[in-house]
Amino acid sequence: MRYLPLTRADRAAMLDTIGASSVDELYGDVPEGALLDAPVDLPSHLGEMQVERDMLALAGKNMGASSVPSFLGAGAYRHHVPATVDYVIQRGEFLTAYTPYQPEIAQGTLQYLFEFQTQVASITGMDVANASMWDGATSCAEAVLMACRATRRKKAVLSGGLHPHYREVTETYCQYSDTEVAGRDGHPEHQATAEELNDLIDDQTACVVVQYPDVFGRIQDHTQLADLCHAKGALLVVVFTEAVAFGAVKSPGSFGADIVCGEGQSIGNALNYGGPYVGLFATTQKLVRQMPGRLCGETVDQDGKRGFVLTLSTREQHIRREKATSNICTNSGLCSLAFTVHMSLLGEDGYRRLATLNHENACKAADAIDAVDGASVVNDSFFNEFTVKLTKPAADVVETLVAKGVLAGVPLSRLYPNRSDLDNYLLVAVTETNTDEDIAALADALKEALA
C-alpha cells in the first residue's frame, strides 16, 4: 500500500525488538471476541487511478455552480478566487502543520493568523478579532453565549432578518444552557425597526442580534439600536453572511456594535457544498477576555526579536475544562489562510472595487428582473443579494429554470419550510462572477417560466 512504508522485514524486526510474537498480541487488552480476524465488509484497496475514476464519476453527477448562470446566495457566495490562494494553501508547510503549539517552528502560521485577525478587525470596524471559528452560524451562536457571559444575563433577542439556519444553530446551542431565545422569523416585506426590537429588550436581555445586510438582502442602520441596547445594559451583536459587503457599506463597528461575527467563505474559499467555511469573530478590547476560540498575540523571543504566540489560553478548554468560554479546539486554520491571502491580494483598492462590482452587477440584475412580468424586486436597499416576489411558487420556478440550465436563486421556502406565506419569494445573489449574458439568461428564463 503506497502510504505504508513498513516492509515485511521491518515488521518482523520490530516485533523482535518489542518481544511480541504478532501485532495481534499488542491488542491483548481488547475484550474477548471483539478483535476482528479479517477485514470488514468493504472494498479492498485501490490504486490512485482507480480512486480518481470513482470520484470523477460522482463529480460528474453534479451540476457545477460555475458551469451555468448561477445566482445562489443565502449565506454562501460564489466569487472568483485568485490562483495564488490555492498555491499558498497547498504548500505543505501550511497544509500539513498543526495548531501552533511550538511557536519557534510555527511562526508562519502564527504571523498569518495575526494578519488575519487584523484584516477581520479592519473590515468589521472592531478592535480585535480571533483566529477563526467553524462557520458563520456557529459564530453567531457563540456570540450569544459570550454576550450572556459578559452581561450575566440569560436572554437573546434575534431579529427577523437573521438567517434562519443561524437562528436554528443559536437555538440549538442555547437550549441546554437555560438561555431564552426570543424574536420571530422575519418577512421580506416587513423590516423590524429599532423601536420594535427595543420592545423585546428587558432587564434579562444579554444581547440583540441583527444581520447586516440581512437575510433578505436589506441594509439597515443600527446606530439607534446600539444606543437602545446599551441604555438597557444589553450588547448589540451584528452578524453577516457576505464579508465582501464591508468594502461597500459602513462597518458594523461604526454603529457601536459590541460583537461582529459571520461567515468569511466569500473571501478565498470555494463553495464546497457548504463546508469547510470560516467563521469570523470580532469584538471590542473591553470584551476580549470573554471571547471564544484561539487568539494569536505579538511578543518577543529570547533574543528580543518580534514573534507571535497563541495567547489568553486561560479562556480555553485545555486549561479551564468545564469552565472554558467554549469547547472549540480545532478551528478553520487553512480556510483563514485562504481568506488572508485573498484579502492581501485585494488590498484596500481591490477589496472596495470588488464590493462595488458586486453591487453594480446586482443593480443590473435587479433592473432586468423587475422588468419581467410576474417578478418584482421587493428591496429598497441591497448589496449583492435581494428578494424577488413572483407570481408562482419560487421552488417550482427554480426547478423549471434548472431544466433551462440556470440556477436562479434560493426559494425562501427552502429556508422557511413551514412558512407558506413566503412560497412565492426568491432570493437572488449576484456577484462579480456573473456576466451580462448570465443576467440576460436569468431574465429570459424567468419570463418564460412566469408567462
Partner 1 sequence: MNFTTHTGNRGLVIEEQLIFEQGQPGRTGVDLPEPKGTKSRLGGLDRDSEVGLPGLSEPQVVRHFTRLSQKNYGIDAGFFPLGSCTMKHNPRLNEKVARLPGLADLHPMQPESTVQGALELIDQCAHWLLVLTGMPAVSMSPAAGAQGELCGMMAIRAALDARGENRRRVLVPESAHGTNPATAAACGFTVDSIPATEDGRVDLAAFEAKLGDDVAGIMLTNPNTCGLFERDVRKIADLVHEAGGYFYCDGANFNAIVGRVRPADLGIDAMHINLHKTFSTPHGGGGPGSGPVVFSEALAPFAPIPYVVKKGDGFHLVETADEEDGMQPFGRLKGFHGQMGMFIRALTYMKSHGADGLRQASGDAVLNANYLLARLKDKLSVAFPGYCMHEALFDDSFLKDTGVSTLDLAKAIIDEGFHPMTMYFPLVVHGALLIEPTETETKESIDQFCDAILSLVAKAESGDAEFFKNAPYLTPRRRLDETAAARKPVLRWKPETA
**Interface residues for partner 1 in 186-215 (CB under 8 A)?**
none
**Interface residues for partner 1 in 212-231 (CB under 8 A)?**
218-221
Should residue 59 be labelled a site residue for partner 1 when binding is judged by CB under 8 A?
yes
Nearest to partner 1 of 181, 201 (CB atom)? 181
Nearest to partner 1 of 160, 264 (CB atom)? 264
Site string for partner 1, 114-133 (x = CB under 8 A): xx-xxx-xxx---xxx-xx-
Query: Least CB distance from residue 282 to partner 1, whole Å?
Result: 10
Angle CA 279–282–287, to nearest 5: 130
**Interface residues for partner 1 in 131-150 (CB under 8 A)?**
131-132, 134-138
- What is the β-pairing status of strands 155-158 and 205-211? parallel
* Three-state secondary-structure class, residue 240: strand
Applying CB under 8 A, which of residues 192, 267, 334, 388 lies at the interface with partner 1?
334
CB atoms < 10 A from the CB of 35, how many?
A: 11
CB atoms < 10 A from the CB of 289, how many?
A: 13
Cα gap 190→245, rounded to integer Å: 22
Cell of 256: 457601536
Nearest to partner 1 of 175, 391 (CB atom)? 175
Should residue 8 be labelled a site residue for partner 1 when binding is judged by CB under 8 A?
no
Should residue 12 be labelled a site residue for partner 1 when binding is judged by CB under 8 A?
no
Should residue 370 be labelled a site residue for partner 1 when binding is judged by CB under 8 A?
no
Should residue 82 be labelled a site residue for partner 1 when binding is judged by CB under 8 A?
yes
Applying CB under 8 A, which of residues 180, 227, 275, 393 lies at the interface with partner 1?
275
Cell of 219: 441594509
Q: Which residues of 402-440 are buried (b: 16+ CB within 10 A; e: fewer)?
A: eebebbbbbbbbebbeeeeebbbbbbbbbbbbbeeebbe
Nearest to partner 1 of 53, 184 (CB atom)? 53
**Interface residues for partner 1 in 83-112 (CB under 8 A)?**
84, 86-109, 111-112
Residue 217, C-beta contacts closer than 8 angstroms, at least 6 positions apart: 379, 382, 383, 385, 386, 387, 427
Applying CB under 8 A, which of residues 182, 200, 378, 402 lies at the interface with partner 1?
402
Cα gap 261→282, rounded to integer Å: 6
Query: Least CB distance from residue 333 to partner 1, whole Å?
Result: 3
Cα gap 5→14, rounded to integer Å: 13
Applying CB under 8 A, which of residues 21, 193, 327, 420 lies at the interface with partner 1?
327
Nearest to partner 1 of 375, 428 (CB atom)? 428
Applying CB under 8 A, which of residues 8, 152, 178, 203 lies at the interface with partner 1?
178
Residue 445 amino acid letter: A
Query: Least CB distance from residue 38 to partner 1, whole Å?
Result: 8
Cell of 160: 427577523
Should residue 371 be labelled a site residue for partner 1 when binding is judged by CB under 8 A?
no
Cell of 228: 437602545
Should residue 33 be labelled a site residue for partner 1 when binding is judged by CB under 8 A?
yes
Should residue 72 be labelled a site residue for partner 1 when binding is judged by CB under 8 A?
yes
Cα gap 186→30, rounded to integer Å: 55
